[in-house]
Amino acid sequence: MMLKALIVEQLDVDGTLRTFQMQPSTQGKDIVVAFADEYEDKRSGPFHFLDEDDARRFEEGFSGCRTRKVGKAYFSFDGRAYHFEGKWSGIPTERNWVSYYALSLPEFAIPVSLSVADPHRPEREYKRAIRRDDTRHRYIVYLECSSSFGRFDFVISCNFVVDEEKFLVSEYRDPKTQQNGPEGNDWRYLLDQGEQRKVQNFFVEKIHMGDNYSERWVRALRPAT
């Protein structure tokens, strides 16, 4: 995936939340990432970075970023299950490009229910991906932040239980959540029909020339001009 920006949060069972925001190191450069379970390389967060400098920037920034204690109205435990709520407003977006938000749940937490909604239209649920990260023993919620308004707002709400024994055999699904994540050709829906044809023709031409492209790294392309 080629990203304009990313926001990573990590929740721990004591209610502390670590938040880190990252943009490309230089103008015109992109952050290229893959989901946690797509590779087995060592990493410190929910993404693999194609560029080693980006990986180093993330590791240093994430390890040193601020942690906060979530307020009681937004994080609670009833003796069995935990409840967490979070809200983001004004995430910058740009046409044909996306930002990504990733929330790592606490170690060995298993989601019971999940909602990611538009705060301006609460009945509207966003599609999202969720993957079990066996290396870090955390479920990760991935949300693609794209909007035609230049900004993206959302509210996330999750109930979960912590069970170390059941974690490795658990899974979570609902109509808006996919274990496998968004399809690799989701970029098509950000382009009009003419632009889609240009991108498709680009791939066909390159394949005929013997070039190989991985959907893991190529997620969206600027329309040809």
More confident residue, 161 or 92: 161
pLDDT at 22 exceeding the cut of 80: yes
Kindly give, in sequence order, each residue whose CB lies less than 8 Å from that of residue 160, ignoring residues fewer than 6 positions away: 81, 82, 84, 105, 106, 109, 110, 111, 112, 139
Contact 189, 153 (CB under 8 A): no
Of 136, 87, 139, 133, the C-alpha closest to 112 is 139
Structure confidence by residue, pLDDT tens digits, 45-90: 999 999 999 999 999 999 999 899 999 999 999 999 999 999 998 8
* Mean pLDDT calculated for residue range 139-160: 91
Please give the pLDDT value at position 194: 57
Please give the pLDDT value at position 72: 95
Please give the pLDDT value at position 215: 41
Structure confidence by residue, pLDDT tens digits, 162-216: 999 999 999 999 888 875 544 433 444 444 455 555 555 554 454 445 544 444 4
Please give the pLDDT value at position 126: 93
In whole angstroms, give the CA distance from residue 195 to residue 201.
Answer: 10
Give the model's confidence band at 37: pLDDT under 50 very low, under 70 low, under 90 confident, else very high.
confident
Please give the pLDDT value at position 75: 98
pLDDT at 122 exceeding the cut of 60: yes
Please give the pLDDT value at position 5: 85
